[in-house]
Structure 1
Amino acid sequence: MKKYVVFILSFSLLYIVFQVLSGMLLTALYTPDFSSINNNVSQEVVFGQTSIIPFLGTLLVATLAYFLSQKIFIASNK
């Protein structure tokens, strides 16, 4: 059980770091399309909604991968 907790914590940390770094890279490389801007530009900034469902789905897949790899490792040692 200790190996599983270490695996899930390290996987979660790597997932979050990857998400932050990819967001920074996408933001740095973004080029806005000025051709579609009209004269009456709104100055309001709208941020998207966030959801924890993709993260939970990824944790579920990681859990299944961990237990499947443990089962295959035990089967190969017999």
Structure 2
Amino acid sequence: MTTLTAVSEVEFSTLRDNLNVSDSVLSKHLAALGEVRYIKSRKGVHLGRRTTWISMTSTGGKALREHAAVLRELIAGVE
């Protein structure tokens, strides 16, 4: 999710390569994130080949910000 904050959308293969995971692992996680409407995907053509583009939804952005805030609180308690 944090990777998606830096872009309006990202190609599936770029995301896979940046996260250093397999297609199946990324697909599984994206499906779970899609089910709760944190991300959306669209099919398209890039450089003559079919591809999938992934973007974060406003719901996903809100959830990420809330999660980061909780993590900051937890970290602040560590001396």
- Larger RCO: Structure 1 or Structure 2 (Cα < 8 Å, ≥ 6 residues apart)? 1
Alignment TM-score, normalising by the size of structure 1 = 0.32
Which of the two has higher C-alpha Rg?
1
Give the structure with the larger strand fraction: 2
Alignment TM-score, normalising by the size of structure 2 = 0.31
Give the structure with the larger helix fraction: 1
